[in-house]
Structure 1
Amino acid sequence: MKFLLFLFLVVCSLCIADRVLAQISDRRYTYDSLLVGDRITPAVSSVMMPKSYTEVILSNALLTTNTYFTQDHVSINMNQRYTYLINTLQVTHGISESGRFNVGLDFSYRTGRQDIDAKSSPLKVLGNDNKGLIQYERAITSVGIRARYLPFMTNNFVVQQTFYIPLGAASNQSMFLGDNRYALNTQLLYNYLISRKMFLFVQADILVRFRDARANADFTNPINVYTSYLLTKHIFPFALIGMTNAWDYNFDHTRQFFTYGVGLQYQYNTMFTINLFYSDVFSGENSNRWKTFNLGIRKVF
């Protein structure tokens, strides 16, 4: 009798699993039929979610610097090292029948470390090593309310806007982590197919950080161009070149830097990808030479 009961439970479990897998397969088939071309998602997604679909991206960026570019573009050693680990969870949901409008939430968790030794390992930000430590902070720093939409009939041009709400805005902890003000970021995302296997992805941001009790408003405009090649249906190597300009509230130019980078995206299928890349600031004015290592995971449900 127990054996028959066990057999019945096994059969029921297999039937439920088969049904669930069939539903997943149907949703992926529907999702694939609505996609237009391939996409890379280095640290931002330009893929519109159809109604009832949800995209989840976990981006993990390690930024480190011990060098500064002067106003004359001369590189000097800072005699210290600053390292930040920025973990960002982005959830985007399709709400319109046309698939032309998405809403989302972003959550940012940051860890920051300042070391007296410029040659110290950036990986110290992951632990609690007190040797050479000047300052160490970590916190959930902000929540972002986001909209992603298609302003025109073409699917190649996507606009994404995020309003960031700082958590603990007045604290020295949030100031050190660099996420202590209300801000609005508008991202213009454009995909262009060069050939059957090669395409461009252009990202231009307009970030406005609003005035608070400690600082005036400022504006940052990073522009990045990515070139990607479909090596196989699963592997997309890519390269990037970028420029960032920043201004204060009077629109006086305050800093500028130029970036290059390389990356690789592994696409298990259109609903699950892993993305990693490295970038380096190779020239600048009144700016740090940041080196960035990024690992991102994207899943659509």
Structure 2
Amino acid sequence: MRSITLVLAPVIFILTAYLGLAQDTAVQSGRSSNVQTYTPSKLLGPGQWDIKFFNSLYTQTRQTEGGSKAVDIPRQTFFTNTTEVYTGISATSRINVGLVFQVRANTYNGAKAWRAFNFEDNQVDARSGLTTLAPSIRIQPFANVGNFSFTSSLFFPVFEDVPNAPYLDKRSLFWETKFFYDRTFGANKWQLFTEVDLGFNFGEKRANANPLTENIGERFANQSMVVPLSVFLSYFPSFRSTVFVSGQQSFFIGYDNPDATGNNFSQNYTALGLGGKYQLTDALNIELSYNNFVRGSNFQGLGETFSLGLRVLF
């Protein structure tokens, strides 16, 4: 119940903001919209707020074995709600600060995908809860390159450590920095957006964990680096809407010495997707997207992700 409340609270807030800003819903023709202007590369001005409520449901019935061959597995489903809140603090619109938190709900052993929305936590085939909190900062490093920026966040795990329970989230201190660049062309009808992420997982090595008091499976990523590379090509049918296609190649690299008792583990995947965004009002945007993991290596899931996002800018 607490997890459901954590998920619904941002929805209630966004709907309240939507209703409160109803008088601003008439977006005039000929103006640029938030959908076009406020990509992740673009920072907020002083006193502006950006609140994003993003939900993704990943479900899989296939994964690779130790190599790249796909094998069938009982269905596993992972729901993630990520809420981001940022505000501008610099007069030059080059520094934003914020907070990110995540709620997760996972199910195993062939359960229907929609069961994740029950937010069960039976510690047998279902786990759920608030998992991470992260202070975050966004910076535009070059005054003359307004379409390049980076976001750096430090994620702290806040969920209970339950030995022998199914996986809920990484038991890592996770430092992630995302670099963004976009370019608009074709009479403002097209936009190319690129993202390069660098993520580092810190924490106790899996081999050093105590299986009687700690969840070993949630420590698989400790002492590792993840590098996703993403590209999005967007087309704007109108000034308040966009459709896009995307591609991502991600590398997960364990950097422990192979002779040490660490996590000398590597993994990679390729995902393709499509989606769209629509500006409902001057303040509120909605986003729908779909991703398919088309290949992978070393116990990588080959599933699908269905996502719904709401974003308020004011």
- Give the alignment's TM-score, normalised by structure 1: 0.80
Letter in 1 for 2:268: Q
Structure 1 stretch displaced more, 268-277 or 288-297: 268-277
**Alignment partner of 1:84 out of 59, 62, 78:** 78
Secondary structure of 1:38's counterpart equals helix
**Inter-partner Cα distance in structure 1 for 2:226 and 2:237:** 34
Match of 1:10 in 2: none
Match of 2:202 in 1: 210
Aligned: 1:182 with 2:173: yes
Alignment of 1:76-225 (within 5 A): 76-78=71-73, 80-115=74-109, 117=110, 120-127=111-118, 134-153=124-143, 154-168=145-159, 170-172=161-163, 176-196=167-187, 197-212=189-204, 214=206, 215=219, 216-225=222-231
Aligned: 1:268 with 2:276: no
Match of 1:247 in 2: 253
Runs of 4+ in structure 1 off by over 6 angstroms are: none
**Inter-partner Cα distance in structure 2 for 1:122 and 1:200:** 33
Whether contact under 8 Å (2:245, 2:274) holds in the other structure is yes
- Once the 2 structures are TM-superposed, how far is the Cα of residue 300 of structure 1 from its aligned partner? 1.3
Tell me the alpha carbon deviations over residues 103-134 of structure 1, each in whole angstroms, 9 at most, x when there is no partner: 0001111111112x3xx53112113799xx95
Tell me the alpha carbon deviations over residues 262-299 of structure 1, each in whole angstroms, 9 at most, x when there is no partner: 10101124532101100010011111113111100000
Distance 1:72 1:194, change over 3 A: farther
Say what the alpha-carbon RMSD is for the aligned residues.
2.9
Whether contact under 8 Å (1:63, 1:293) holds in the other structure is yes
Secondary structure of 1:109's counterpart equals strand
Aligned: 1:290 with 2:303: yes
**Inter-partner Cα distance in structure 1 for 2:247 and 2:76:** 23
Identity %: 23
- Once the 2 structures are TM-superposed, how far is the Cα of residue 170 of structure 1 from its aligned partner? 3.3
- Once the 2 structures are TM-superposed, how far is the Cα of residue 203 of structure 1 from its aligned partner? 1.2
Match of 2:48 in 1: 53
- Once the 2 structures are TM-superposed, how far is the Cα of residue 194 of structure 1 from its aligned partner? 3.0
Whether contact under 8 Å (1:245, 1:253) holds in the other structure is no
- Once the 2 structures are TM-superposed, how far is the Cα of residue 39 of structure 1 from its aligned partner? 4.5
Whether contact under 8 Å (1:224, 1:240) holds in the other structure is yes
Gaps of 5+ in 2: 1-19, 207-218, 258-263
Gaps of 5+ in 1: 1-19
Secondary structure of 1:237's counterpart equals strand
Letter in 2 for 1:38: Q
Whether contact under 8 Å (1:184, 1:208) holds in the other structure is yes
Letter in 2 for 1:98: T
Q: Which has the higher contact order (CA 8 A, sep 6+)?
A: 2
Secondary structure of 1:230's counterpart equals strand
**Inter-partner Cα distance in structure 2 for 1:201 and 1:123:** 32
